[in-house]
């Protein structure tokens, strides 16, 4: 893959935009952009996993109440 490529900037309404060539395409449909000096850095938004989210939560300190185990409901003909 070529590490750089010249692209043209254009206006999209009041925003400046550029087309990202296929070889630089990012995964997903969201990105984060930031400016460092004269450079614009565009990075894909990393999608977190459910396991990572659950691991980040603090454990509950209260006890769960006891719940009686109810018999299963009768099946209904659809």
- Cα–Cα distance, 20 to 50 (Å, whole number): 30
pTM of model > 0.85: no
pLDDT single digits (tens) 35-77? 999 999 999 988 888 888 888 999 888 888 888 888 787 766 5
DSSP H or E stretch at residue 52: helix 50-56
Residue pair 26/47 in contact by the 8 Å Cβ criterion? no
Range of the domain at 29: 1-47
Q: Is residue 59 part of a domain?
A: no
Q: Is residue 62 part of a domain?
A: no
pLDDT single digits (tens) 7-38? 999 999 999 999 999 999 998 889 999 999 99
Q: Is residue 4 part of a domain?
A: yes
Neighbours of 31 (CB within 10 A): 13
Residue pair 40/33 in contact by the 8 Å Cβ criterion? yes
* Domains held by the chain: number: 1
- Cα–Cα distance, 20 to 27 (Å, whole number): 12
């Amino acid at each position: 893959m070529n590490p750089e490529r010249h692209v043209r900037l254009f206006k999209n309404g009041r925003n400046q935009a550029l087309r990202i060539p296929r070889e630089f395409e990012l995964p997903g449909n969201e990105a984060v952009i930031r400016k460092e000096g004269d450079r614009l850095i565009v990075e894909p938004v990393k999608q977190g996993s459910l396991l990572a989210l659950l691991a980040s939560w603090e454990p509950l300190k209260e006890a769960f109440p006891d719940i009686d185990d109810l018999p299963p409901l009768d099946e209904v003909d659809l």
